Chains A and B, each alone.
Chain A
């Protein structure tokens, strides 16, 4: 019981703190890649605190509902991750968050929010099957969807699921809102859709979506970490390399359109997963 409480609290508190730090690091790294110095590492926390202290303005009260829903779902997913629950269930709950964000954006009639929301739906459409297939691969290798059994698996999953790790990378790039897949909204500067999905979230509600995003970062990196769960050194290296690759890809690629994204991600992602899954079946 005590252990459960500890896990819940870690997931709930440490999750967003780490996630925020990682996105701070991300901004510095990006700045360095553009030969700038970049903000302090705590910048995401300053941003969120400032937003929390701003006046509340909404277009439609349901935005507030959806922002809370997003935060609740993503934090829940992370807590379940720390509780070593069922991976498929965690993905479903994570999807709840994404849906709330979309519904909140659709609640505003601004064309920027609307188009952003639809692009986000297309992004969900692109990565959701991939994430499920990754989890299915993990299940085939370890015999269970529960994280507990992944942690006790004797050898790193990466060795058996290399292609699925690449597939996870695609999902990660979309989910972290990195180019070339940052169609619905993006972190840095602004884009052709103003801020797309997040255009009409403002002040504290925008802060909630930020914090929710930190949880999501944690969840996704947690998924990556499962691929080398046997030793913490391997795990750290894997995460650092993966994240660096994400930032690099973000900086060297241009934003593409949804047609390309859907076609490319499904073609590559499904082929790679299929190859890896068939390999697992026959092995």
Chain B
């Protein structure tokens, strides 16, 4: 009973709340609805922790079978996408959505004889982790969106607020994500999969500028391609096994069968499009035209995580196959290529976007590697990446609203005007690249797991060195202070501080709790296909090959941090001198006396090495490489 209530809160409440947001056009009421929904989602998600694992059957809703409801909604959704295809004159969208309509119709009316009686909803540790991420991170992002959108619209000077539509889609997105990760019936999964496609389209197009619409349509067709691959894969799976029960499919995997493997490969392809892996990266890069909370949502807890979730879910089924190897190589390749492209970018949001693609690539590599350690690494990476990426996007959004630029060069010395936001951003960067924080912990696991396969480890080490480069550069730039006297205290809305604080504290605490997460949430999921990869005792993760003392290291890091802060306090009494400018500096900060006694600004730009890592140099090659790998993956299953 409890599980029933909680699950329906997680899935259905957002749909209701989204409707309320649309209908009730008062800012106050809407904010209240968003806040209440968010908190209810968080509470229900936490409430699920002691109840997992569980299975539910959907049964009836208002006297109609849920299965039929979903089917009708599915058709409505696909026709809606078709409509957008016509509206924006996109041939690809039209074709792909027609194809999907036909296939769904074929599947529903001709193939599927009986509706499975049990097991439409299945929640194990992996699903629970996803639900927690979606509900917690997603809700926090929605909270922050309230002040952000107020500013955003004030800035755009709209005569009619469009926030009701915005929050409609944002909240809907959370419900769809929860539904997706909890579905065990693949048709339900497919329905929610398509809902996220539509939601992302609507959110990217939200500002209705020409670029926004263009990018949104691009996102739509790429994700429709994924949807089409998904539904073709489903048809194949049904042919092979006669049902669409995800758990049964995984347990009774028949990796020898060609149709089965090809179907799974198609599902992986769908996952790659959702997770914006190369060569489908352009939709995610284009998505940054949308208001920042959208990027935060797409990049951290929703949308792109669908892909990695799907592949991690399917990992046991493809264990030991060529497909699994292909996924690993493909993921590692994306990890490296996206990191290289991120090095070449000075646009902060693009760096974040490439870093997302890169991290997702690493998760795919972990899933494809398919060992207990690597799968653990993948799951942990999903958790930490969600928190920190959301945090960084919100930080960049906040900075952007102040300096009216998202270029890293313009963020030089932002510390002087927005000290707290800059510090939180640097915290986020530190948590991305430094031990003992979670991302590095997962990277450590991934590397130790990949060490047995020399091409993977080679690619991953190169990628992670590049990663350090673009993050460290950014953190330093934020602190690069042009030295303009005393700091102004910074003002931000309470919800912004709340969101930033909650996300950064959350990421830090979760890092500390990583061994606990491992024993409580990941180890149970490891039973069956995998052996337990680590012993966790006293906050230390250890196995025969390696040891990562999470808790002791965190304690040492905390002590080091406090000492360093103390050093900063004491250094505040130190004499402040101007940066070295060969002795020709003047009292104006950052200036020196140039020819004819004129004042010249001393400037040094970051190295972006665009002659090596620029988009114009790399993108074509990377897309080509990824394309070849994809063909290899699909062809290899035949």
Contacts and interface: CB of A to CB of B under 8 A. Distances in A.
Check A-B contact in the complex, CB < 8 A. Answer: yes
B156 interface: no
Contacts of B580: 108, 110, 112-113, 194, 199-200
A129 B462 CA distance: 6
A146 to B, nearest CB: 6
A2 B434 CA distance: 29
Contacts of B565: 65
B579 A76 contact: no
Interface in B457-495: 457-458, 461-462, 464-466, 468-469, 472-473, 475-477, 479-483
A129 B468 CA distance: 11
Interface residues of A, number: 68
A36 B298 CA distance: 64
B572 A146 contact: no
A106 B426 CA distance: 13
Given A86-B547, A125-B469, A59 B607 contact: no
B465 A92 contact: no
A60 B481 contact: yes
A136 B457 contact: yes
Nearest to A59: B579
Contacts of B447: 88, 132, 136
B508 interface: no
A151 to B, nearest CB: 15
B435 A109 contact: no
B568 A62 contact: yes
B545 A274 contact: no
A109 B526 CA distance: 50
B576 A59 contact: yes
Interface stretch (A45-53, A96-104, A218-226, A228-236): A96-104
Interface residues of B, number: 64
Given A59-B483, A109-B483, A124 B575 contact: no
Contacts of A62: 415, 479, 481, 568
A118 interface: yes
B564 A72 contact: yes
Contacts of A273: 458
A109 B457 contact: no
Given A103-B476, A114-B604, A86 B576 contact: no
Contacts of B451: 136, 139-140, 145
B353 interface: no
Contacts of B564: 64-65, 68-69, 72
A48 B477 CA distance: 29
A124 B458 contact: no
A121 B469 CA distance: 6
Contact of B476 (A69, A105, A136, A139): A105
B275 to A, nearest CB: 25
A129 B464 CA distance: 8
A93 interface: yes
Interface of B: 412-413, 415, 433-435, 440, 444, 447-448, 451-452, 454, 457-458, 461-462, 464-466, 468-469, 472-473, 475-477, 479-483, 544-549, 556, 560, 563-565, 567-568, 570-581, 589-590, 602-604, 606-607
Given A121-B473, A144-B545, 13 more contacts: A56-B571, A59-B577, A60-B481, A62-B568, A64-B568, A65-B564, A68-B560, A107-B476, A109-B413, A111-B602, A124-B472, A129-B465, A143-B545
CB-based closest 6 A-B pairs: A106-B476, A110-B579, A64-B571, A56-B574, A114-B604, A72-B560
